[in-house]
Amino acid sequence: MRVFKFGGASVKSAEAVRNVGEIISDYQGEKIVVIISAMGKTTNALEKILTAENSNIELLISEVEVFHNDIIKKLFPDSESKVYKRVNTVYAEMRSFISNNDMQTTKSYAHFVGFGEILSTIIINQYLNLNGIKSIWCDAGDLIITENKYVEAKVQWHKSIEKIKGKITSLFKDNDIVISQGFIARTESGECSTLGREGSDYSAAIFANAINSEDLTIWKDVPGLLNADPKFFDKTYKLDYISYRETIELAYYGASIIHPKTIQPLKKKSIPLYIKSFLNPKDKGTTVQQEAFADSMISSYIFKKNQVIVSISARDFSFIAEDSLSLIFKQLNSYNLKVNLMQNSAISFSICLDNNKELVRSFIADMQKIFKVRYNEDMELITIQNYNQEVIDELIGNREVFLEQKSRTTVQILVR
């Protein structure tokens, strides 16, 4: 048994879906769970509908409809194909959901954005069946169970594992391919929830863990895990082998290649992760695995732009001690602000955050009631794994360094 994951870019057009079909048919005779994201930028389009003016909603929904119908028309020449009826039912559900619910709640958000994955998986499952691949559609919401929170919900591990194991084993009796959705889940009370944006990788890892998959392959539009973002660098290297540990760190520091939660369920069962190109499926890609011997000594770079550094000190020049720290973190947690870097000195405590302006301003305002607070915006956080001085100097250039922190393998530098 294996698990494949195809993201939005790999199913963004009819041609892309055909390519996915070809990749799957290369593995004929194997049992594969295929986890799929919403097509192209559909999740963004659905998020936009949720915040749109009433007068705009119908237009935006019909854009989503036209986008999917254009793909369907190219894949299903027979206008009697049952795919049309299936997707029309979903479009109708979307409209009725909008008319009957308050779109401002996180509960509505989770329900509505999930329609993207429902559409993509219906289309791809029907397409595979039409082309002689025996696949079956399965609702991920029946299998991945989360806490009673709607967005970025934590997975109820034991319940989910039991459900996935049972269902997938039984579906594999009569089918080679099970098609299910990434990103979406259901709460213990049976409402829709999500695992957070870009969470489909994590969904795939949960399935892989549950069924003791031989491996997990994430099919991407890049040749594998690269040491830097090709958007910013002319010369990048593919890492052939990398350990779970180094990959978790890269994802944690902000490399956008896979969702940071993906590795842990794989590591627990030593399931290798292959990151491969759906454009060149025969190429080897990157293997992520247990062993550290293969850890790459190539330096990897990650940039986080739009950072803010907030420095907090006591009004009376006293130390920032444990009681103050716990107050600061409680407030950060209540705004769901994630600390990218922190440093404590005798009288001030500095933290670097993504500059989500509204939240950061509210946090600063709260802190100013008790402490003296200074902040600086428009900073960039550079993280280098397997660093050396030459690489550091090159990446900093002539920018001003505000904070620097080094461990044996990783250096983080905040610059402006």
Residues that bind ligand ASP (CB under 6 A): 7-8, 37-38, 43, 116, 182-183, 197-200
From Mg ion, ligand ASP, none, interface partner of 183 (C-beta below 5 to 8 A by class) = ligand ASP
Asked if 40 touches Mg ion (CB under 5 A), the answer is: no
Residue number of the CB closest to Mg ion reads 8
Distance of closest approach, residue 250 Cβ to ligand ASP, in angstroms? 17
Would you say 198 or 249 has its CB closer to ligand ASP? Answer: 198
CA quadruple 139, 218, 228, 339: dihedral positive or negative?
A: positive
Q: Which stretch binds Mg ion (CB under 5 A): 2-10, 51-59, 118-126, 320-328?
A: 2-10
Q: How far is the CB of 322 from ligand ASP (least distance, A)?
A: 38
In degrees, to the nearest 5, what angle opens at C-alpha 153 toward C-alphas 52 and 20?
75
Determine, following the binding rule CB under 5 A, whether residue 120 of this chain makes contact with Mg ion. no
User: 282 and 22 in contact (C-beta within 8 Å)?
Assistant: no
Work out how close the CB of 193 gets to ligand ASP at its nearest, in angstroms, rounded to a whole number. Answer: 13
Letters for 92-111 (x = contact with Mg ion by CB under 5 A, - = none) are --------------------
Question: 304 is written with which tokens?
Answer: 């986080």
Q: How many whole angstroms separate alpha carbon 383 and alpha carbon 255?
A: 10
Least Cβ distance, residue 357 to ligand ASP (angstroms): 22
Q: Which stretches of 26-114 are DSSP H helices?
A: 42-51, 54-75, 82-100, 106-113
Span near Mg ion by CB under 5 A; candidates 30-38, 308-316, 321-329, 361-369: 30-38
Select 264 or 343, whichever has its Cβ closest to ligand ASP. Answer: 264
- What is the spatial distance between Cα 106 and Cα 38, in angstroms, rounded to a whole number? 19
CB 215 within 8 A of CB 274: yes
> How far apart are the C-alpha atoms of 375 and 356, rounded to whole Å?
13
Q: What's the closest the beta carbon of residue 43 comes to ligand ASP, in angstroms?
A: 3
Minimal distance in Å, beta carbon 5 to Mg ion?
10
Q: Which two tokens stand for residue 12?
A: 């963004």
Query: 34 or 320: whose CB is closer to ligand ASP?
Result: 34
User: C-beta of 220: minimal distance to ligand ASP in Å?
Assistant: 11
3-state secondary structure at position 247: helix
3-class secondary-structure state, position 44 = helix
Please report where in the chains the tokens 């593995």 appear, as a residue: 27
- Cβ-based nearer residue to ligand ASP, 116 or 141: 116
Q: Provide DSSP, 384-406.
A: EES--HHHHHHHHTTPPEEEEEE
Secondary structure of residue 117 in the 3-state scheme: helix
How many CB atoms within 10 Å of residue 85?
A: 9
8 touches Mg ion by CB under 5 A = yes
Q: Which residue is nearest to ligand ASP (CB)?
A: 200
Chosen from ligand ASP, Mg ion, none, partner binding at 311 (C-beta under 5 to 8 Å by type)? none
Tell me how far apart the alpha carbons of residues 34 and 56 are, in angstroms, rounded to a whole number: 35
Where would I find the beta strands (DSSP E) of 96-153? 135-137, 145-146
Nearer to ligand ASP, 197 or 284 (CB): 197
Among 10, 19, 37, 289, contact with Mg ion (rule: CB under 5 A): 37
Site for Mg ion in 173-232 (CB under 5 A): none
Degrees (nearest 5) of the Cα angle 215, 200, 198? 130
The least CB distance from residue 391 to ligand ASP, in Å, is 31
Considering beta carbons, is residue 9 or 130 the nearer one to ligand ASP? 9
Q: Which residues here bind Mg ion, judged by CB under 5 A?
A: 7-8, 37
